Every structure is written in structure tokens, then in C-alpha cells.
Chains A and B, each alone.
Chain A
């Protein structure tokens, strides 16, 4: 006499597992594709540093330089501009996620330091704005 245990697998993959993995990967590709579509703005790329909702500094992305950004709550970030890309090379925040974010180089890409409440964005500006920088 044998007993049939329907749907009682101990281990192994189910169809739902495969669909879940495929769904997550598809969603990942979809979000990446959306940002890929909007991240290629025209005009001059400018680095905009925002503290809270205020613009605290703007830097020229074409000039290789290292900037110190101090947030309103006392955190210090070292922003490195090198070869058309921007990164946070040092930070006094506790989790260092801003450093782990790596380099950004396309417009509408953003580096964020949540403890410091600092956003470093690359935005596209018109050609007439290229000499209008606030360096802080």
C-alpha cells in the first residue's frame, strides 16, 4: 500500500520560486531601463550639492578637483571630481553608504548621504549656464 502526498515536497524548487526569481530580475531590468532612458540629458553637466532642499554648492564636472562639503549637522564629506565622474571619497557619517555608492557620471544620477542629509547630483544645464558656478 502506498500513500500519495500531493504537493508535499520536502525540498527542491517550486514553479513559484522560478517565477519569483525571474520576476525580480525583470523588475530590476525594467527600473534600470527607465533610468537609462532619462539619464542622458543634453547640455553641460554640472555637479549640484544640496543640503536639505537648498543648493549649497555647484561644481564644474570638467575640472578635476577635491571639495570638502560640510553639512548643517556637522558631517564632512570629501567629494572627488575626476575624469568627468563624481564620488564621495571620505565621509564622517557612520554607515559610509555614500562612499559605497561609487562614482556617478551621467546627468540625473545622484549620490546621497542620509545621515548628513546631503545630495550630490549631476544635472544638465544649458550652454549659457556653463560659467555660472557657486563654489563653496
Chain B
């Protein structure tokens, strides 16, 4: 009975935290829209991907399903408020691919790969997903010619978000498992 209550309590906590994380991710997405990184550097669609920090932290602290729901809610609501149907499709393709990377490499976290590597690969996957979506919508394969420059920039962008995510996780609870225990 105590265990059962504790489980419900823990689940309630996780849902509450998911809401906070999703809201924070949306705020970061909104703030990021004021930084015209792509126009400044001359790379269309380039973004730091600050919202992915929250998804990565949620993955290692709350769990897979909570992180997936935070990612989807962030993409859906951000597109609804600040974007369009096209931006939703772009973000959805990018979000799914980057989350798959997180899912596949999450098990190796702090064994053979850190969040810098995971974030760099997630950022690269996000760009591949978005370019794929653009080529589908526009029915134009040559859009992939923008992929190399986006992939190059996914290294510094992914590294920055990876360092922030790693620091955040360390600050919250030193390790993924301990964070789960805390929550």
C-alpha cells in the first residue's frame, strides 16, 4: 500500500515536472526565435536548439515517455502559437529523429558517450529530419545540398546544448539514476 501510494506520488511529481519542463522548453523556443542565428551566419534555419536541453534533462531525470511527451508538446504548441503547419512538420520530423538518437544512445550515457556526443548527434539528426521534411514538402531532393553546412554547425550547437544539459543534470542530482530517485 505504501509502495503503491509512493508510486502515485512519484508519478504525480513526474507529470508536474513534465509540465514545467514543457513550459520552459517553449519559453526557450520562443526566446530563440529572437536570435536570428541563421540570418546572421547565412545558414538558413540554423538554431542553437536550446529547447533540446530540457528534453535531454527530462530523458535522464523523468524517463523516456515523459521526455517524448515534453518534446511533442513543445513542438505542437510552439508551432500553434508562433509557427505554421509547415514549421510543425519540419519540427516534428527533426524532433522524432533527434529523440530516436537520444533513445538509442541514452543507454550508453556516461559509459562510452557523454551528453556532448549525444547532443551533437541529436542536432545532426534534427537537421537531417528537417531537410528531409523540406525535400518532401517541396518535392526537391537538391535541398539536401544545405545539409553539409547544417551538419557542420550541429557540432558547435550540439556541444553547447550538451554542456548545458550535462551541467544541469550534474547540478540536479549528480547522475541520471539519482535524479530519478530524487523525483
Contact = CB atoms under 8 A, between A and B. Distances in A.
Main secondary structure of the interface of A (DSSP, over half): mixed
Interface in A40-95: 53, 94-95
A117 B144 CA distance: 17
B143 interface: yes
Nearest to B90: A114
A135 interface: no
Contacts of B4: none
Interface string A22-44: 01110111011001000100000
Contact of B38 (A8, A29, A97): A97
B118 A20 contact: yes
Interface in B84-105: 84, 86-87, 105
A9 B115 CA distance: 12
B140 interface: yes
Contacts of A95: 45, 87
B30 to A, nearest CB: 15
B39 A8 contact: no
B18 to A, nearest CB: 26
Contact of B114 (A16, A27, A108): A16
A35 B144 contact: yes
Contacts of A15: 112-113
Contacts of A105: none
Contacts of A32: 148
Interface residues of B, number: 45
Contacts, number: 115
A136 interface: no
Interface stretch (B8-16, B65-73, B131-139): B131-139
A28 B131 CA distance: 13
B144 A96 contact: no
A11 B38 CA distance: 30
Interface stretch (B20-28, B49-57, B150-158): B150-158
Interface in B120-174: 120-121, 124, 134, 137-140, 142-149, 151-152, 154-155, 158-159, 166, 170, 174
21 contacts: A7-B110, A13-B114, A16-B112, A16-B113, A19-B117, A20-B116, A20-B120, A23-B121, A24-B151, A24-B154, A25-B152, A28-B148, A29-B148, A35-B142, A53-B139, A97-B38, A99-B39, A101-B146, A110-B142, A110-B143, A119-B140
